[in-house]
A and B are shown apart, each in its own frame.
Chain A
């Protein structure tokens, strides 16, 4: 007899038990010591809600092969919206049979029900033998359910039972206002949900793709070449659908369902809407070659699916006249390919940020995301005829230098950076940059920046952290950048 125990209010209590244990008279919430007193040969396992949740998530992923709308239902249930999907398996009955059969193969015991609304399906799966409940008999069967299936507070349940009410049908005929006043509004809500008067939509775990194409294999596919062929056909089908809607895909997800229940998803993002299988394939190949864990067919894939997760309207462009458009298209393709190979955060475009702190004035954004907001101006702006105010290379973090200052509050006369001494002949400054007190910790100091040139012509950007008159200790100097 297998029982699962967990610590509930400082006592070990049963949280789950197998069929044999249930038949022997053990029940949930029973104390472990009581169970031990009755039986000596108990297999005891400790509950692990985290592992349970992980398993449920995995099963949820797997259920994706039945419908894209899969939601978690409590800690031990899955809710599938199979509207428009059942005919793929013949009918609901066949679909349910298929789910049972395959889940049993994985060693999972299943209880299930199909009904016209989510709450009713939930109640039938948990509190009745289940099966497919036709809409014509739905209300009648609901009325015959016991009150437990309303899943309301024990107090209210006991109250209802004391009043001699036994089934859902008994209270369904009672006036709603009185029920809500005597028990709780929750009870009425539950009733309405069960009978489908109130609509409680399920919230699917994954984004529902805008459009998708999939193929179920009669025999699992193992050879990669044939996988590629299938992908090609799917790509064509997907883009045909998208073309009719005048849309292109910004993000495409390829899902590979393996026979043994493993699912591999590969995500492809593009900087501009994809409209062709050819371009998709180039990106897909790039992605496959960079996977840390290569796509493994194992015992074969039985379902392959391409889904356009994010779509965007496309404009049909005339190609020949405007060479400029074509050029941006080409550089867009390059950005996509490099982003997929090296990662989106390695292919970047600099964007200005409204701040005076030099290291924050640039934000490097993934080039794949097209900037929509109006760009800010770069600060400081460029003054025609003036020499550069900012270095071409910036050290992050700044490197500390040893300086010899001519006068305490002036530019250094010489400094040592990376063990080389530089004698300064030209200097400009200070450019005083105060810390942003609304963002920084209290210890941030004012910086005085100097542009320096040594006797060999090297140009540096250095700063002194802190002011002479305020600080007790001598301020430190840093090299922040190199000028051209």
Chain B
């Protein structure tokens, strides 16, 4: 018996396969958005993926919000299930608490994706950062040194940026207890906590960030209030506090709350 092979069909299959492969190879998309339509439209193509993004916590008490925002950016910019490397300087962890896996899971980050590297010095953080960024398999790298270390200068950030651009791995610099100085970051964010929309019975709601884009090499800057939807991994823009949407819970004095619950 002679088996006939449909050559054309085979060729077509192979072509489609290789096409998909080629697409997927590029698919570490060159940019990522926030998932909020109006904000994404404003930012154009979104944020560059293989680039250095810097996130500051405005005050000591905003460290939680800044951490949350960085995790959200990591989730937005990386593909599902790709490993996320978190480089934390010991001092930052002492001062602001250690990243807590159950809490990260609550934000939508599967702890199994996480590799936490505890570094004893900012030099270690930077060296490990450039190593991690050089690996294409990394989904995102969160770099958390403490304060303003001397070694984190223009040259160092430029190196990080170049490595990130080469491999397309997002470098997210989490700056706790630091003040912005000039460096090579593509975007720079100042994060404050913002009152959440209560999820009922006067319980705190989903994370809400007061975000200010204070520097953007590729476009406009601005100020937004964003809520993180951890189930869908999207940001949702909320009207500023002065608007009508969030009003009572945020400004209700404690006395009223007490009488309401008690």
Which residues from chain A sit less than 8 Å from chain B, CB to CB? 323, 326-331, 333-335, 337-338, 341-342, 346-350, 352, 358, 361-362, 364, 367, 375, 378-380, 382, 384-396, 406-407, 410, 413-414, 417-418, 420, 422-428, 451-453, 455-459, 481-484
Q: B112 in the interface, Cβ–Cβ < 8 Å?
A: yes
Across the interface, do B114 and A349 meet the contact criterion of CB distance under 8 Å?
Answer: yes
Which 6 pairs across A and B sit closest by C-beta, in order of nearness?
A484-B68, A482-B64, A327-B137, A393-B97, A428-B203, A388-B106
- Bound: A355/B231 CA distance, A: 25
- Bound: A234/B200 CA distance, A: 68
Across the interface, do A394 and B195 meet the contact criterion of CB distance under 8 Å?
Answer: no
Across the interface, do A482 and B254 meet the contact criterion of CB distance under 8 Å?
Answer: no
Residues of A within 8 A of B240 (CB): none
In angstroms, how far is the closest chain B Cβ from the Cβ of A342? Answer: 6
Across the interface, do B261 and A423 meet the contact criterion of CB distance under 8 Å?
Answer: no
Measured as residues with beta carbon below 8 angstroms from the partner, the interface class of chain B is 35 or more
B67, B111, B135, B204: which contacts A451 (Cβ < 8 A)?
Answer: B204
Q: B211 in the interface, Cβ–Cβ < 8 Å?
A: no
Across the interface, do B100 and A382 meet the contact criterion of CB distance under 8 Å?
Answer: no
- Bound: A482/B92 CA distance, A: 14
A334, A375, A387, A391: which contacts B85 (Cβ < 8 A)?
Answer: A334
Across the interface, do A326 and B137 meet the contact criterion of CB distance under 8 Å?
Answer: yes
Q: B230 in the interface, Cβ–Cβ < 8 Å?
A: yes
Q: Is the interface of B mostly helix, strand, loop or mixed?
A: mixed
Q: B62 in the interface, Cβ–Cβ < 8 Å?
A: yes
A–B complex contacts, Cβ < 8 Å, 19 sampled: A323-B24, A331-B115, A334-B85, A338-B117, A350-B116, A380-B102, A382-B105, A386-B199, A387-B203, A391-B64, A393-B67, A396-B97, A426-B198, A456-B193, A457-B250, A459-B64, A482-B61, A484-B64, A484-B209
Across the interface, do B203 and A426 meet the contact criterion of CB distance under 8 Å?
Answer: yes
Q: Is the interface of A mostly helix, strand, loop or mixed?
A: mixed
Residues of B within 8 A of A407 (CB): 258, 262
Residues of A within 8 A of B219 (CB): none
| Given known A413-B254, A425-B252, contact A391–B103 (CB-CB < 8 A) | yes
Please indicate which of the listed interface residues A338, A349, A392 has the most CB atoms of chain B within 10 Å of its own CB. A392
Across the interface, do B195 and A392 meet the contact criterion of CB distance under 8 Å?
Answer: no
Across the interface, do B193 and A458 meet the contact criterion of CB distance under 8 Å?
Answer: yes
At the interface with chain A, which of B37-45, B48-56, B124-132, B152-160? B124-132
In angstroms, how far is the closest chain A Cβ from the Cβ of B62? Answer: 7
Chain B residues 178-225 with CB under 8 Å of chain A are 192-196, 198-199, 201-210
In angstroms, how far is the closest chain A Cβ from the Cβ of B88? Answer: 10
- Bound: A118/B228 CA distance, A: 72
Across the interface, do A394 and B106 meet the contact criterion of CB distance under 8 Å?
Answer: no
- Bound: A452/B102 CA distance, A: 18
| Given known A347-B115, A375-B112, contact A458–B61 (CB-CB < 8 A) | yes
Residues of B within 8 A of A391 (CB): 64, 97, 100, 103
In angstroms, how far is the closest chain B Cβ from the Cβ of A106? Answer: 40
Across the interface, do A392 and B104 meet the contact criterion of CB distance under 8 Å?
Answer: yes
Which residue of the partner chain B has the closest CB to A349?
B115
- Bound: A266/B167 CA distance, A: 33
